[in-house]
Amino acid sequence: MNRDNHYEAAFEAFLRTLGVAVVAVDEARRSYLDEESIKSPDFLVVGPHDARLVVDVKGRKFPGGTAEHPRMVWQNWSTREDITGLERWASRFGPGFRGVLAFVYHILPCVELPEATPDLFAFRERVYLMRGVSVAEYRSAMRQRSPRWGTVHLATAAFRSVVKPFSYFLAPARVESEVIEH
């Protein structure tokens, strides 16, 4: 976790209000897994109902762009390294752990979301929307964004089909039929 990153600070505060166990990972140094340098996750989260998550936070503002030309797009890009790292850490931590990309959107004042919007969170005079995507679902739908920067993303329709309020990942395990019907 980068203590200067307002997205990560808001995410940690959000999790604490839900009463889950949170370990912020120090990103000042690279970690090693199987003698290979690998990006550290931002958080390890242990929630109720046996939720065990390895989380990487992706901070984005909504809308993007400029004040004169706002882009009403829910940016969801990541790096391939982030995806691979989350998968490897979750595997190493053992059964029950899963990697999750946390998309933490800073909602700018020009946007009003309904108060009943799940996982809408006010923190330090800003409003954030907490969303998550299982890294396995992300990998299955990701497309290359920039070969030069090693970034990937999901097409809008694919993102809409897999993104969920972050609290979804802390809820009791769902029966397979419930997951399919959403």
Residue 43 lies in a domain: yes
Contact 68, 100 (CB under 8 A): no
Q: What is the total count of domains within the chain?
A: 1
Q: Give the model confidence (pLDDT) of 23-64 as tens digits.
A: 999 776 667 667 677 888 999 999 888 899 999 999 999 998
Residue 100 lies in a domain: yes
Q: How confident is the model at residue 4 (pLDDT cuts 50, 70, 90)?
A: confident
Query: Minimum mean pLDDT among 9-13, 68-72, 141-145, 162-166: which range?
Result: 68-72
Spatial distance between the Cα atoms of 137 and 139, rounded to a whole number of angstroms: 5
Contact 1, 45 (CB under 8 A): no
pTM reported for the whole predicted model: 0.89
Q: Give the model confidence (pLDDT) of 122-172 as tens digits.
A: 999 999 999 999 999 999 999 999 999 999 999 999 999 999 999 999 987
The β-bridge partners of 21 are 46
Residue 1 lies in a domain: no
Give me the domain span that covers residue 32.
6-181
Q: How confident is the model at residue 173 (pLDDT cuts 50, 70, 90)?
A: low
CATH number of the domain that 176 lies in? 3.40.1350.10
Top-confidence range, 54-63, 67-76, 107-116: 54-63
Residue 141 lies in a domain: yes
